[in-house]
Structure 1
Amino acid sequence: MEKKFTSDEVPLAQLLDQAKSGKLQLPDFQRGWVWDDNHISSLLASLSLSYPIGAVMTLQTGNPDVRFRPRPLQGVELRGSVEPEFLLLDGQQRITSLYLALRSGAPVPTTDARNNPLERRYFADIKACIDPACDREDAIKGVPGDGLVKTFRGDVTLDVSTTEAQVAAGIFPLDRVMDYSETMSWHYAYVDNGPGERDERLQIWRTFHESVINAFYQYQVPTIALIRSTPKEAVCQVFEKVNTGGVSLTVFELLTATYAADDFNLRADWDERKRLLGAERLLRRFEATDFLQILTLLATFDRRKRELADKPGDDKASAVSCKRRDVLRLELADYRKWADEATEALRRVVRFLHGEHVYRANDVPYATQLVPLTAIFVALGDAVDRPHVQQMLQQWYWCGVLGEMYGGSTETRFANDLQDVTAWIGQDGPEPGTVREAQFQAARLLTLRTRNSAAYKGIYALLMKRGGRDFRTGKTIDVTAYLDDAIDIYHIFPQRWCAAHDIPMSVADSIVNKTAFDARTNHRVRGDAPSKYLARIESQDQVDAAYLDAILRSHGVDTVAVRADDFSTFFNARFERLLKQIEEAMGKPVNRSADRSESPFAGTSRDAERVREGIQALIKADESKVVEFKSTGRKSLKTGEKDDGVEWVIVKSITAFMNADGGTLLVGVADDGSIVGIEEDFPFVAKKNLDGWMLWLTELVVRTIGTVAAAGLDVRVAVIDGRTVARIDVAPAARPQFATPAKGEKRPHFYVRTNNNTRELHGREAVDYQKGHWTD
């Protein structure tokens, strides 16, 4: 393997000379020099004793792929532009301090321990330096730049402003130590005119020269030099590992320095884009490195497409990638080509996520998923606005969130998603890996308790997307209501109530027992039983009970169970409702255990009893905006024959509930609440029994409304007075639903539930309703 560096000991004098001439400079991404007076004095003391001060690292210039704008070390004044031979990657603080103190010839602009600015020149007390009992750090003195040490009253206590004054004080100026002729000139002045006898001065100077002057002049600095062919990603990695005391060298910093060599200010460009994007609350945590990953994905995706167009099937075509090394190779031309498109796409991504009821940066399940999503938006262009494309993107998005696919290494998935999703949508390709591989375990609902989990945040958004309205105001939770009314997620059965009724906190705190409403609504709750706080809302906020039931149903809540403070029935029903919503969002079934008993309250002996009690409670409460009775599903009680019109009434009711707040359809119950039983339909279904009736219902809904609608129904039955009643719970739909007759006219119909009635809306009335009901 080719060696990427050399290591040697380089004379300090040589390094300082290289800095002065411009042969050694800094890469522009390096932070400024910041050492204070104490650091500098301590460094000079160590050097005077020939103690190690650590290695430095340089990079040989000349690699066309590693071009950084250089800048001279602080204090170096160059005449014109000088192309460096080496860039100083590590050791800037030490080498700059030594240059300023020993080679610049000017006072050092530093600070004191309290960060107050001051100027210093550094001197060595000759006698103290050669006294073995004296601490060397006490022998190295920093004095004001004018050479005058004064008391706070202004009295001069030490004057070393001239050679004569320095000689008289026996203090050697260290800014002469690296210049042999200057050192000798000062030596002669000291021997001729210094304090004490001449022979004594000569002996003192010899000892000082051997132990201190030579230590500086002969000092060798361990130097690691990265050779010219070192790739940029290696420079970045090496810098971060050795430069622990400096800035973190991100790919953004490296590209900033690279683009600066072509007079492009990446930081200024990004700051302006960040300012514009910062107006979107959802993008408040979006960073420059995320943006660069998007551009790198697009650049490599475009390159691969062009190569395959020229040479189809080429297995050596460039890979699509946004790993660190690929971002570092992002050419300025590619940045300029894709930056504006990506910026505009980010705004469209925000609108897309608002449609999924994700509104703030804190609520984004996976911030990393914004990278491939934005790249996909750019690649698809205007096609993303087509309804079927939106649905496919929604499925991909929710599979990523609910399948928790972005929790580990992500760059490879980014690249695969960009290629797979665009092929899936634009070329009728196979399902993307993220869609194909995503799974949701039903029992996972019980472990989702905080917004630290992406799936928790996702289900929170789904609850709002499915039409969840605020308990008190009845408002649809759109972006305006969400932000203006401080919408958050709260317990339905409060923690205090759960603790008092021995509900395990692990269950009480799961997302099954939580939903979204505003802070004022939560104030109405006060930790009381649902029956109490719902009555309080009805009384204090003048909300009709039937209307409040509709709101509860919009959250997938069993109104009968909640009003009866029946936690286990509520929990089971909502557990299943959430799973159905997850299945609809992901476009695939959730994974269940063999006995389907993931809910802690499932499989108990009271299951059938609870269903029966729930139906009886609904019958007792009578029909409402969220409850409707139908005697039969297929048979006309007037003619005794199968009637397509009776079937269509079932379809209309289900569609109307989906287009409103959801609801419950009881089949087998007459308008007056008497029990008829679905047995009346059995002669007109295939198997002449309950299984046949259930199969008929599913096929009916699939034919007239769609497969998704059929999958979203929750159908349970109970025997009451010897007859079977079917309870069909219908969730509110995430988008408008249309019913198309299985026979005859194939025109789709749009139905809604208003008060106790099902109505069909047409034309402008239907459009206005849809705009007002579905805010996305």
Structure 2
Amino acid sequence: MNFEQPKPDSKKYSDLISEIQKGIIKIPKFQRDFVWSIDKTAKLLDSILKGYPIGTFILWQTDERINDIKNVGNLNIPPTPDGNKVQYVLDGQQRITSLFAAYLGAEIQKIGEKKTTDYNNIYVNLDVDIEENDEQVIAPEPIGDHFLSLSDVLNFMDRMTDIQNRFSKEHFKQIHAYSRAFDTYDFSTVLLRKEDIESAIEVFTRINTGGQTLTLFEIISAKTYDEKQQFDMQSKWGSLIKELKKIKYESISSAVVLSILSLVLSRTKECKRKTILSLNKQEIIDTWSKVISALKDSIDYFRTTYRIPVSHLLPYDSLLVPFAYFFYYKQDRPEAGQRKYLEEFFWRMSLSFRYSSSAESRLAQDIKRIDKILAGVRPEYSDIKIFLDSPQSLIDTNFSAGNSYCKAVICLLAYQEPKDFRDNSKVILDNSWLKVANSRNYHHFFPKAYLKGKTTLESNSLMNITLVSEHLNKRKIGAKAPSVYIGDFEVQNSEINTALNSHFIDIKGHGIESNDYKQFLTARAEKIFTHLKSRIELTHTEPANEEIEELILSGESESVEFKSTLRYDLRQKAVNKALEYVIAKTISAFLNSTGGNLFIGIDDNQNVLGLNDDISTLKKRDIDGFELQLVEVIKKYIGKEFSSHIKINFPEYDGQNICRISVSQSSRPVFVSFKDKENFFIRSGCSSQPLSREEQSIYEKEHWS
């Protein structure tokens, strides 16, 4: 560390207090909170009174300003005056805080305690002989007349007249002697004069082997604290976590942001501890906002594109790092090819135990892959083994809520937006319920209690896990056989197979009716295996339907609109024919403008919902039936004479069929008939707007003349 050889020094009690009050001696924020009890403080003062050694205070003298404690209870500690060096307490924080609190009578409410401790309530018992080992300085108020507050002793000169009036000459002399004992006590100090914080932190770490170990985040927070620039990393991170709690992503580690900072700032694109410690303070401050924005973008991408609703489902927090790196440089939604490559990256990392060990070095390797994706090139993964050999490998995996592989599969289940067996409503997932395997959200489809004694197969197989609501899991299912409880739900939910499908389960062929656990595991594992393989097996050619992907990823505009359904009301869980009119209205607006594309089965957030909800409402329950219904809607509201301007097809996107309606500009005005009234719509921005008769007349002249 190359410190100047420290020389032992000493300070008087009054000097310590004075330097704290002047802002010269400071307690760095990375020190643990003040936890000593008032009794322990009293024992410290008793040792000083008796002349016992109490250990050395180690102070770090520097021009640097790091985050420090601003008050001790009700007593404020001022900032260090400009031009002065500051002395940060590296060892002795509990002792020096006790001395300060006792001297000035601080009132402190410690963390975890409801009441405030008043440090005026420390007393000196005059009946105890100082030559004896009995404690003279005590916290409980003694019984009798021969005691006074420690504050009176420490401030003897200021209160001498009052003390003289209250006590006998003998006691007055005794109190005066005690006062001098405190005044003349030499507090041992060592002053370290090395300027850099890394050296000071190293000293702190070595001398606090039995105490608190500083995290890397605490070290960097201390290093980058800047009062003039109003930069406090710990405070900013705390504010971000509060913000993320609203979207259920509050459990991510602060190590994530340090890794992102290091990967974008370091010349070597590494995030090892040594590299992070060497980062430039000002560069960190200047880059912070952009890094946090990229982190938010990656979280938003996980929530909307991969539909991971809560942070506890992430196989690794570290997965956010490469994605944030991507958004740091991309600063926009991924293009079609990039989107596929990112998806492959996500699933390969998740299914390979990639960040279970040596995460720092592996992140550095994977950033090179992200650089390729940024350049539009598919990375190679020959060095990474995917643990997905066969459906049997999924069956053989024992479920654990903390296992990254299990979490990856659960992410796939969450992507399906699993529906409640009772009414097809969306299952709500929560961080607080997903930490442990016996969570309220995790349900064994074949209940463990039901399987007990009935099979030699593992009841806790990953393929037996579904995501359900807490009420459903504990109160409605219990230990019932699947044939029984699914039969009960089928009575109240005629569309229960839609709900089961959202869990990769079919009411037929999955062993439900016969309670065949082996058949269930096999059938479900094959489904999930197929879906997982499709996410990691890409060809080197550009993804299919690139034009469609570009249109969807670009979002809604004057020429693109998304509709979740044709006629199925997702809120009412029933057919709502008013939605069909909305579809016709949008088509007519495109006809009356410059054309456009209407996608059905995509919501406003570009999430793929597919067409199953609509199809389940039709007599002919397939794509052909959907197209027939759509054609009828167009005929009813617009008329068949415009069919040459309307093309309907059903591309597959993200593993699901959606409907694309391509509309070209009409050569004449198009009206939508509704309730015996003809309405005229045009596209304006991202929506379809009606025009009055007068506005329509002006528009027709400008548009078709």
Tell me if both proteins adopt one fold, taking TM over 0.5 as the criterion.
yes
CA distance in 2, matches of 1:521, 1:140: 61
Change (3 A) 1:342 1:26: closer
Given that residues 154 and 179 in structure 2 are in contact (C-alpha distance below 8 angstroms), is that contact kept between their aligned partners in structure 1?
A: no
CA distance in 2, matches of 1:447, 1:4: 58
Name which of 533, 536, 542 aligns with 2:494: 542
Given that residues 60 and 225 in structure 1 are in contact (C-alpha distance below 8 angstroms), is that contact kept between their aligned partners in structure 2?
A: yes
Partner of 2:263: 297
Partner of 1:620: none
Name which of 249, 256, 279 aligns with 2:246: 279
The amino acid that maps onto 1:402 is L
Instruction: Provide Cα deviations, 1:379-407, integer angstroms capped at 9, x if missing partner.
Output: 2332x432221111111111121112122
Following superposition, the deviation at residue 101 of structure 1 comes to 4.6
Given that residues 4 and 226 in structure 1 are in contact (C-alpha distance below 8 angstroms), is that contact kept between their aligned partners in structure 2?
A: yes
Change (3 A) 1:72 1:569: closer
Partner of 1:10: 10
Q: Does 1:405 align with 2:405?
A: no
Q: Does 1:359 align with 2:322?
A: no
Name which of 455, 480, 500 aligns with 1:502: 455
CA distance in 2, matches of 1:771, 1:141: 72
Following superposition, the deviation at residue 120 of structure 1 comes to 2.5
Change (3 A) 1:228 1:570: same
CA distance in 2, matches of 1:72, 1:109: 11
Instruction: Provide Cα deviations, 1:147-189, integer angstroms capped at 9, x if missing partner.
Output: xx9x9xxxx956969xxxxxxxxx9954268xxxx69x99xx9
Name which of 514, 523, 534 aligns with 2:465: 514
CA distance in 2, matches of 1:237, 1:584: 53
Partner of 1:53: 54
CA distance in 1, matches of 2:122, 2:194: 37
CA distance in 2, matches of 1:33, 1:475: 50
5+ residue gaps, structure 1, are 162-170, 305-317, 590-733, 738-751
Partner of 2:339: 390
CA distance in 1, matches of 2:200, 2:348: 36
The amino acid that maps onto 2:169 is G
RMSD of aligned Cα (Å)? 5.3
CA distance in 2, matches of 1:440, 1:52: 64
The amino acid that maps onto 1:541 is N
Name which of 217, 220, 230 aligns with 2:184: 217
Say which SS state the counterpart of residue 369 (structure 1) adopts: helix
Given that residues 398 and 586 in structure 1 are in contact (C-alpha distance below 8 angstroms), is that contact kept between their aligned partners in structure 2?
A: yes
CA distance in 1, matches of 2:245, 2:231: 20
Change (3 A) 1:90 1:515: same
Q: Give the TM-score, by structure 1 length.
A: 0.57
Given that residues 467 and 476 in structure 1 are in contact (C-alpha distance below 8 angstroms), is that contact kept between their aligned partners in structure 2?
A: yes
Given that residues 306 and 415 in structure 2 are in contact (C-alpha distance below 8 angstroms), is that contact kept between their aligned partners in structure 1?
A: yes
Partner of 2:443: 490
Following superposition, the deviation at residue 354 of structure 1 comes to 3.6
CA distance in 1, matches of 2:203, 2:300: 34
Structure number with the higher helix fraction is 1
Following superposition, the deviation at residue 44 of structure 1 comes to 1.4
Instruction: Provide Cα deviations, 1:700-757, integer angstroms capped at 9, x if missing partner.
Output: xxxxxxxxxxxxxxxxxxxxxxxxxxxxxxxxxx9989xxxxxxxxxxxxxx995378
Following superposition, the deviation at residue 271 of structure 1 comes to 4.6
CA distance in 2, matches of 1:120, 1:380: 60
Partner of 1:450: 400
Q: Does 1:570 align with 2:567?
A: no
Instruction: Provide Cα deviations, 1:87-136, integer angstroms capped at 9, x if missing partner.
Output: 2122123124335656xxx555568998445362877566734443x61x
CA distance in 1, matches of 2:117, 2:487: 68
Given that residues 58 and 90 in structure 1 are in contact (C-alpha distance below 8 angstroms), is that contact kept between their aligned partners in structure 2?
A: yes
Given that residues 428 and 469 in structure 2 are in contact (C-alpha distance below 8 angstroms), is that contact kept between their aligned partners in structure 1?
A: no
Q: Give the TM-score, by structure 2 length.
A: 0.62
Partner of 1:165: none
Instruction: Provide Cα deviations, 1:548-591, integer angstroms capped at 9, x if missing partner.
Output: 798389437861644343333333343344333333233399xx
Q: Does 1:755 align with 2:621?
A: yes
CA distance in 1, matches of 2:41, 2:498: 73
The amino acid that maps onto 1:10 is S
Following superposition, the deviation at residue 430 of structure 1 comes to 4.0
Given that residues 420 and 499 in structure 2 are in contact (C-alpha distance below 8 angstroms), is that contact kept between their aligned partners in structure 1?
A: no
Partner of 1:747: none
Given that residues 55 and 224 in structure 1 are in contact (C-alpha distance below 8 angstroms), is that contact kept between their aligned partners in structure 2?
A: yes
The amino acid that maps onto 2:41 is I
CA distance in 1, matches of 2:503, 2:129: 87
Percent identity at matched positions?
A: 17
Given that residues 372 and 418 in structure 1 are in contact (C-alpha distance below 8 angstroms), is that contact kept between their aligned partners in structure 2?
A: yes
Given that residues 251 and 328 in structure 1 are in contact (C-alpha distance below 8 angstroms), is that contact kept between their aligned partners in structure 2?
A: no
Change (3 A) 1:84 1:33: farther
Given that residues 404 and 454 in structure 1 are in contact (C-alpha distance below 8 angstroms), is that contact kept between their aligned partners in structure 2?
A: yes
CA distance in 2, matches of 1:476, 1:78: 54
The amino acid that maps onto 1:511 is L
Q: Does 1:420 align with 2:369?
A: yes
Change (3 A) 1:157 1:319: same
Q: Does 1:372 align with 2:372?
A: no
Following superposition, the deviation at residue 43 of structure 1 comes to 0.9
Change (3 A) 1:322 1:558: farther
Change (3 A) 1:415 1:227: farther
Say which SS state the counterpart of residue 84 (structure 2) adopts: coil
Given that residues 253 and 317 in structure 2 are in contact (C-alpha distance below 8 angstroms), is that contact kept between their aligned partners in structure 1?
A: no
Partner of 2:28: 27
Given that residues 348 and 386 in structure 2 are in contact (C-alpha distance below 8 angstroms), is that contact kept between their aligned partners in structure 1?
A: yes
CA distance in 1, matches of 2:25, 2:95: 14
Partner of 1:337: 287
Given that residues 292 and 327 in structure 1 are in contact (C-alpha distance below 8 angstroms), is that contact kept between their aligned partners in structure 2?
A: no
Moved more, 558-567 or 73-82: 73-82
Query: Where in structure 2 are the equivalents of 1:697-708 lying within 5 Å?
Result: none
Change (3 A) 1:463 1:172: closer
5+ residue gaps, structure 2, are 434-438, 540-607, 612-617, 631-645, 659-705
Change (3 A) 1:265 1:555: same
CA distance in 2, matches of 1:274, 1:239: 27
Following superposition, the deviation at residue 321 of structure 1 comes to 2.0
Following superposition, the deviation at residue 37 of structure 1 comes to 4.1
Moved more, 121-130 or 399-408: 121-130
Query: Where in structure 2 are the equivalents of 1:68-87 lying within 5 Å?
Result: 81=82, 83-87=84-88
CA distance in 1, matches of 2:619, 2:327: 36
Following superposition, the deviation at residue 440 of structure 1 comes to 3.8
CA distance in 2, matches of 1:463, 1:232: 45
Rg larger in 1 or in 2? 1
Say which SS state the counterpart of residue 377 (structure 1) adopts: helix
Following superposition, the deviation at residue 232 of structure 1 comes to 2.6
Instruction: Provide Cα deviations, 1:601-651, integer angstroms capped at 9, x if missing partner.
Output: xxxxxxxxxxxxxxxxxxxxxxxxxxxxxxxxxxxxxxxxxxxxxxxxxxx
Say which SS state the counterpart of residue 320 (structure 1) adopts: coil
Instruction: Provide Cα deviations, 1:465-495, integer angstroms capped at 9, x if missing partner.
Output: 4686655545687999xx9xx9944333333
Say which SS state the counterpart of residue 60 (structure 1) adopts: strand
Partner of 1:462: 412
Given that residues 125 and 172 in structure 1 are in contact (C-alpha distance below 8 angstroms), is that contact kept between their aligned partners in structure 2?
A: no
Change (3 A) 1:476 1:772: farther
The amino acid that maps onto 2:154 is D
The amino acid that maps onto 1:48 is L
Name which of 199, 205, 208 aligns with 1:242: 208
CA distance in 2, matches of 1:768, 1:366: 33
Partner of 1:689: none
Change (3 A) 1:126 1:374: same
CA distance in 2, matches of 1:261, 1:78: 10
Partner of 1:668: none
Partner of 1:194: 169
Change (3 A) 1:82 1:244: farther
The amino acid that maps onto 2:61 is Q
